[in-house]
Structure 1
Amino acid sequence: MIQVFAEVPQGIQTAPHELRMAAAGHQVAVREVDLTHVRDRDSLMMAFLAGLALTQSFGRNWDALYDVLTDPQQFSGRLAVVLCDYAHFKKKRAALAAELEGVLMDAQQSAAEQGRLLWLLAEERDTDTKHW
């Protein structure tokens, strides 16, 4: 198995199964953004507000999201943003997902230029598991 945190972040990658253990071993902060109930840009921004534990002063727009993700005062050198239920979100909200990806890729690039690491990890709900 490839250890995602041993490599430089590149785009949106699949989250490892033992995400928190892997992140702890590499001293990476983890924040989860649940995209399950996102319907539009406003609900997407609210998902990031909750998932990144931002204050109510968060601007809730693309520029504000970019600023938060690239601000060394917000997050230090190693951050993993886990996009929960990402494939389902991308399928349901393709245009919104494309806009989000653009902002996330720009933020990842900017963080790298600052010498910081920003992993973007897609995590899917386990739909194959049956709960008896």
Structure 2
Amino acid sequence: MSKRAFELDLTQPSQGGVYFVGVDDLDRLARTAARDELHVCRTDLAGCRDKDELLRRLAASLQLPATFGHNWDALADCLRDLGWMPGWGHVLLFEHADALRQATEADFTILLGVLDDAATFASDNDRPWFAFLAMPDHAFDDSLLPT
């Protein structure tokens, strides 16, 4: 995790966003979020190879409504309105995010955009909203992660 990420205050909507972290950071982030009474949702992407599998996993881990349409637009709508979840803010933790990036970089990039849009929407509405994607140390090479 970068030094800046260690300085994040998860209670501040203006600091919300999408962050790449090391695999060892997720438990600490979960504890910090729980302490601050933010809802924590973990999604394991180990072995996730495509958009359909990603959306199935997110539907389960986020406990998305039965009406969830299993497409990018539906995911974006759901992530903008997490009202069915407890907490005054939300922290999404993605384990093994590199599995999806390596399997389908295009879907990984779209996911990042959807997450970023949701974080911006939450910040605009004064709600903390963070997504942390755990990546192996070698993935932090500037040439591997999208900008």
Normalising by structure 1, report the TM-score. 0.81
Q: 1:50 to 1:72 in 2, by over 3 A?
A: closer
**Amino acid in structure 2 at the alignment position of 1:67:** D
Q: How does 1:34-53 map to 2 (within 5 A)?
A: 34-53=44-63
The percentage of counterpart residues that share the same residue type is 26
Aligned-pair CA distance for 1:21: 1.8
Q: Deviations over 1:13-63 (max 9, x none)?
A: 424442332112211110011211322211111010011012332111111
Aligned residue pairs, count: 126
- Between the two structures, name the one with larger relative contact order (CA 8 Å, sep ≥ 6): 2
Q: Identify the residue that residue 27 of structure 1 maps to in structure 2.
A: 37
**Is 1:62 aligned with 2:72?**
yes
The alignment yields a C-alpha RMSD, in angstroms, of 2.3
Deviates more, 1:104-113 or 1:31-40: 31-40
Match of 1:115 among 117, 122, 126: 126
Structure 2: tracts of 5 or more residues without a match = 137-147
Bigger proportion of residues as helix: 2
Distance 2:125 2:88 in 1: 9
Deviates more, 1:87-96 or 1:38-47: 87-96
Distance 1:52 1:20 in 2: 15
Aligned-pair CA distance for 1:88: 2.8
Conserved in 2, the CA contact under 8 Å of 1:68 and 1:74?
A: no
Q: 1:117 to 1:105 in 2, by over 3 A?
A: same
Q: Identify the residue that residue 12 of structure 1 maps to in structure 2.
A: 19
